[in-house]
Structure 1
């Protein structure tokens, strides 16, 4: 890269910095609002009890694990050695692994295919605790597998050799996950940079850079130190990558000094990748799968199901469904299951499983949920991207009462969320709530050919209105268990129908409880069971009481269909058909 190119980048950074400085001077305050704070807090480990205090500058205390976290994060950072065709050194930059196959750096460090082809990523170029150099491990870059670069956002993503000549694996150095949501840092927070300054041994500026300005694509952080090396990861206090460092902001009065640093927001880079993904071939696109949320395609059940189990104490702070959530001095308790003897007990003798903002009651005989119950707060919703499809067994419930891959693998059954993934994602615990929805206890088998368009539109309508109007909603969802449900693999009966009840407070302070049924039966007589066209109906709450075996008697007084003569069911084809 020429000096003229770097000078241009620095002048562009200065122009952006001065523009934001002028804008802030005209504003009364740049303090983060409640929504921004909720997004920021959603990516904090709930066990870090001091994190929020640090963000609002009431504490400088860190758990000792903070230092270990930084050491682990630094393993994925490397020096990039730039060479010509003869192998002679042309310069250095910094980069870091963002998956087991990909490395991220600046466009102005690696700007062309040929530059990448001759570059080498050097890990462990650092001193140990005795200030002795560690053994460097080198990997070549492989742009022929993937090379994506953008000059405007100043980034390059390149595939990296997975095994070095020494036999070392690049996966031994881990990688730094990239989270797509904005809001991983706030103005006034401090960030850290792990880097190879001037191509030297790995170094770190620990919490020395105060975030001055955030714009759509860039972050400006003020420091008394020299600008960090190009291509370095910029971390928040949880060692989550918030930006890609790319330039210092020169002092307009003294070009030999710096007034700030500038980085490119990770959310902007991921958004750009989503836009260019359609231009890639299948092999290239697969390399991006770990970075980008998958397109919402039906799960054909033929793909491997990644299964995990978490320690029981991971659920210790999950309060579950809150009966008093709607306020008004009225509680909406979890409805009793009429066949109480079939409710699966947890290992501690309970009758429900509490997750973040939702709870589940399980059936012993069906090994599925009788229902899930979730609180949705429309005023605090946080957009959390779907990062993977790992599903978990719940260690608090005997495995014999949970249906896992033995039900869903190698067939046409989807793992359908009962509590929708997006519904509990609000407030400070949004990320944890999102992860909690990926439990087999929250899953129900649904045939991939099931036509859920209207059903999904109904769910979207409930969530979107909660968000738009900032109100709270309780949603109960479950299957209808019938004796004639199809027996599958000799042990599972597949539900043919699903129901939902939404409870919300109306403007006059009264409750509204509306019930819905997704069915392929005609509500008049039973049809021969076959996976065909499903339809959605708004039905009296009392009908679900009979069909699902759930005692909803406490909600029937708030049902708009309760007093309509002959109300057996209203076909729902759009939101206009819903009666509140």
Structure 2
């Protein structure tokens, strides 16, 4: 999936220059506004200052005079400083911005932040189309004899991975291997990004390795001080030129503290500069953290390599609308089922003590001891349904609760168990947030172990039937789903307790204006006695809503009053085809 793509009508040199001018104007405004509002500097900093305490965390214990350099009492460096900087420079490349015809429109700088993952500015690579046409050139530099080094060129692969944001002016994009090249991107190493703030202080010096004006790789070493630090940006006086956009800004430990993106023009002198501005790496990390759950499993896997110590924070999913109890209409309020006191004492809670996990158009309540959902609740809008093709089978943990209370891939390896979607993948996929809803369903909180024959046959037919009726009749449907937890559920591989039955309650408003609430029970009892050689009959029943309440301990309020089979004495009837369902 591609995130934050900026739509455009084709790239041009004029558009690139206009965007750069806009960025310079915004940087200039921040720069001069801060001039009269200076924060504390190193001149008044003591060894006990909280900011200095944070800064010391990224110092090497063997660099005995690192602190003296920060405090300005020494200019001495170990000779290894130069070698470390040389090593850091290997992962930095020139980006040639090209149009669809291969014509060069300009240059930028980028650097590898994980295997085959490049970071640069949004205004350098602002869209999938631009990235597809542009190239990354590594080792574009002169050797000790001032002769050109062999350059290694690679195409970008935004279709595999591409995340960008215009406000923070950053882009992360995958880089393709080049079969005809003697070296591949991984041969150039990468720069580790540290998510936390505190890697640079006002008054410290910074260094930048860059491709000025698209020329060979160059470096400015500790030339000027950091003048201002904001939440998202820093200002510094190091010389940079056009083409340096996307360069890494280093502290004295060659740790990346910012992504360079603009010069600050001198308002009193044409073509002169009073400073430079970079986006703090901690700000980019915070942005990724806040949106983490909304990313696909593939994106999350890559992002945890870019930011190894990333701590996912509140996300778009944790702030999603979730299940809507008034979805069927203001006159048809359908509350979430109530848990018994015993069940409520065994829920997985988030840090705010809430136990309802909201996703896009659905919500989940988890049983802590069983590591599976008590129930899921989804709103289906047949009138706004979007058919998004399944692009993979990559699942992720929900970071809002511990991984230890979610069954993961260890359960599903080398057997006939499927990661059964409790909320069917396409059910919440409607409206403007269809893609996000699709991605949200691939979370382990929404999975339950189901034998492949159960997951792919009658139960799927039932789910398809409900969804198809919603689409055909422009219906809104609310569906609750969950496993049946029994004390005699089999224990698999010594720790996984496998439910033998699953239930579903579908609620909709019929043409006559009355609510219909129907319940279903699916058993896989005969399938899981021997998971390696499973066979046997399995059945789907339509049962009274009260039967689901009896076997789960959930309370569906007055839904039983709207059950078309509530008055029948039978415990249920077998469903072998959609026409046997009684709505």
Change (3 A) 1:366 1:576: same
Query: For residue 324 of structure 2, what is the aligned residue in structure 1?
Result: 322
Change (3 A) 1:499 1:77: farther
Looking at structure 2, the residues matched to 122 and 407 of structure 1 have their Cα atoms a distance apart, in angstroms, of 42
Matches within 5 A, 1:119-518: 123-124=136-137, 137-138=152-153, 161-162=178-179, 164-168=181-185, 311-314=312-315, 315-338=317-340, 339-450=343-454, 452-518=456-522
SS in 1 for 2:503: strand
Paired residue for 1:519, among 516, 519, 523? 523
The answer to whether the 8 A contact 1:306-1:389 is kept is no
Rg larger in 1 or in 2? 2
User: Deviation of residue 351 (structure 1)?
Assistant: 1.8
SS in 2 for 1:349: coil
SS in 1 for 2:425: coil
Query: For residue 46 of structure 2, what is the aligned residue in structure 1?
Result: none
The answer to whether the 8 A contact 1:367-1:403 is kept is yes
Query: For residue 580 of structure 2, what is the aligned residue in structure 1?
Result: 577
User: Deviation of residue 311 (structure 1)?
Assistant: 2.1
Change (3 A) 1:43 1:358: farther
Looking at structure 2, the residues matched to 561 and 76 of structure 1 have their Cα atoms a distance apart, in angstroms, of 68
SS in 2 for 1:379: helix
Looking at structure 2, the residues matched to 307 and 368 of structure 1 have their Cα atoms a distance apart, in angstroms, of 26
Change (3 A) 1:466 1:44: farther
Change (3 A) 1:466 1:134: farther
2:582 paired with 1:567: no
Change (3 A) 1:449 1:427: closer
SS in 1 for 2:448: strand
Paired residue for 1:557, among 558, 561, 564? 561
Looking at structure 2, the residues matched to 568 and 528 of structure 1 have their Cα atoms a distance apart, in angstroms, of 28
User: Deviation of residue 539 (structure 1)?
Assistant: 0.7
CA RMSD across the alignment: 4.8
Query: For residue 540 of structure 2, what is the aligned residue in structure 1?
Result: 536
Looking at structure 2, the residues matched to 507 and 432 of structure 1 have their Cα atoms a distance apart, in angstroms, of 31
Looking at structure 1, the residues matched to 98 and 151 of structure 2 have their Cα atoms a distance apart, in angstroms, of 10
Looking at structure 2, the residues matched to 92 and 170 of structure 1 have their Cα atoms a distance apart, in angstroms, of 26
User: Deviation of residue 387 (structure 1)?
Assistant: 2.3
Looking at structure 1, the residues matched to 322 and 417 of structure 2 have their Cα atoms a distance apart, in angstroms, of 28
The answer to whether the 8 A contact 1:347-1:398 is kept is no
User: Deviation of residue 550 (structure 1)?
Assistant: 1.4
User: Deviation of residue 438 (structure 1)?
Assistant: 0.8
Looking at structure 2, the residues matched to 537 and 476 of structure 1 have their Cα atoms a distance apart, in angstroms, of 16
Looking at structure 2, the residues matched to 511 and 341 of structure 1 have their Cα atoms a distance apart, in angstroms, of 32
SS in 2 for 1:391: coil
Change (3 A) 1:61 1:137: closer
SS in 2 for 1:312: coil
User: Deviation of residue 313 (structure 1)?
Assistant: 2.1
The answer to whether the 8 A contact 2:336-2:556 is kept is no
SS in 2 for 1:165: coil
Looking at structure 2, the residues matched to 171 and 442 of structure 1 have their Cα atoms a distance apart, in angstroms, of 40
The answer to whether the 8 A contact 1:43-1:431 is kept is no
Unpaired segments of 5 or more residues in structure 2?
A: 9-17, 27-91, 105-114, 117-133, 142-147, 156-175, 191-214, 216-300, 305-309
Looking at structure 1, the residues matched to 433 and 482 of structure 2 have their Cα atoms a distance apart, in angstroms, of 24
Unpaired segments of 5 or more residues in structure 1?
A: 1-41, 52-59, 81-90, 95-99, 102-120, 141-158, 174-200, 202-304
SS in 2 for 1:428: helix
Looking at structure 2, the residues matched to 548 and 336 of structure 1 have their Cα atoms a distance apart, in angstroms, of 11
User: Deviation of residue 561 (structure 1)?
Assistant: 0.5
**Alignment size in residue pairs:** 339
Change (3 A) 1:64 1:322: farther
User: Deviation of residue 534 (structure 1)?
Assistant: 1.7
SS in 2 for 1:513: strand
**Cα deviations by residue, 1:274-315 (Å, 9 ceiling, x for unpaired):** xxxxxxxxxxxxxxxxxxxxxxxxxxxxxxx99979823223
User: Deviation of residue 355 (structure 1)?
Assistant: 0.5
Looking at structure 1, the residues matched to 530 and 186 of structure 2 have their Cα atoms a distance apart, in angstroms, of 57
